[in-house]
C-alpha cells in the first residue's frame, strides 16, 4: 500500500516548474507576499499558495476541492516546507494566508462559508501542531484512505 500523500512532492514540482519558467505565479490579493497558482489536476480545482524568496519556494499550502459536507464546499489542505527553510513558521504562514486568500476568492463567487479539512499522519508532529493551531484543537482519529496509516482529521468551518 502506498504512503500518505506528501505535499512535498508538489513543492518540488512547483520549484522545478518555476526554474523551467513553465508556470507564472501571481501575488495574492489579500497578502501580497504570498504567491498563488490555480490548476485542476485530476479534474479537481486546486489552489497553491507559496512563500517564494529569490525564486526559491520556501513553503506551500495546497487546497484541493473535495466533496461537500452537508452541502457546504470543502477543501482538503496540505502543506510542505523546503528542508532548508524548516522551523521558521513558513508552513503556518502559507496556510493561514492561503485560507485568507481562498476566503476572499470564494466570496467573489458568492460562497460565504466553506470547510477546510486536513488528514495528518499521527506521527507527523510538526504538521499536527500546525493543524491544531490553524484548524482545530479537537481532531478525530481516523485511518488514511490511501495508505491505511493512523491519522488525525482536522476540520474547520470558515465563515
Write out pLDDT tens, residues 98-157. 999 999 999 999 999 999 999 999 999 999 999 999 999 999 999 998 888 999 999 999
Please state the CATH superfamily assignment of the domain spanning residues 7-158 in this structure. Answer: Gcn5-related N-acetyltransferase (GNAT) (3.40.630.30)
CA–CA separation, 32 and 41 (whole Å): 25
CA-wise closest residue to 66 among 46, 96, 85, 39: 46
For the entire predicted model, the pTM comes to 0.94
* pLDDT exceeds 90 at position 4: no
Residue 78 exposure: Cα atoms within 13 Å on the Cβ side: 17
Q: Identify the three-state secondary structure at position 42.
A: helix
| pLDDT bucket at 2, cuts 50 / 70 / 90 | low
CA–CA separation, 78 and 97 (whole Å): 13
What's the mean pLDDT in 45-74?
97
Q: Identify the three-state secondary structure at position 59.
A: strand
CA–CA separation, 87 and 99 (whole Å): 21
Residue 42 is predicted with a pLDDT of 86
Amino acid at each position: 500500500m502506498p504512503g500518505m500523500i506528501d505535499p512535498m512532492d508538489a513543492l518540488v514540482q512547483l520549484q522545478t516548474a518555476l526554474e523551467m519558467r513553465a508556470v507564472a505565479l501571481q501575488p495574492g490579493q489579500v497578502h501580497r507576499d504570498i504567491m498563488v497558482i490555480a490548476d485542476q489536476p485530476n479534474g479537481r480545482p486546486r489552489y497553491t499558495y507559496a512563500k517564494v524568496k529569490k525564486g526559491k519556494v520556501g513553503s506551500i499550502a495546497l487546497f484541493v476541492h473535495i466533496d461537500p459536507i452537508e452541502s457546504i464546499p470543502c477543501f482538503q489542505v496540505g502543506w510542505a516546507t523546503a528542508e532548508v527553510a524548516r522551523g521558521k513558521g513558513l508552513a503556518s504562514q502559507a496556510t493561514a494566508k492561503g485560507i485568507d486568500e481562498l476566503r476572499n476568492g470564494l466570496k467573489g463567487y458568492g460562497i460565504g462559508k466553506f470547510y477546510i479539512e486536513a488528514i495528518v499522519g499521527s506521527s507527523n508532529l510538526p504538521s499536527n501542531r500546525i493543524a491544531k493551531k490553524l484548524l482545530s484543537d479537537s481532531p478525530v482519529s481516523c485511518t488514511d484512505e490511501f495508505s491505511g496509516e493512523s491519522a488525525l482529521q482536522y476540520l474547520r468551518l470558515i465563515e
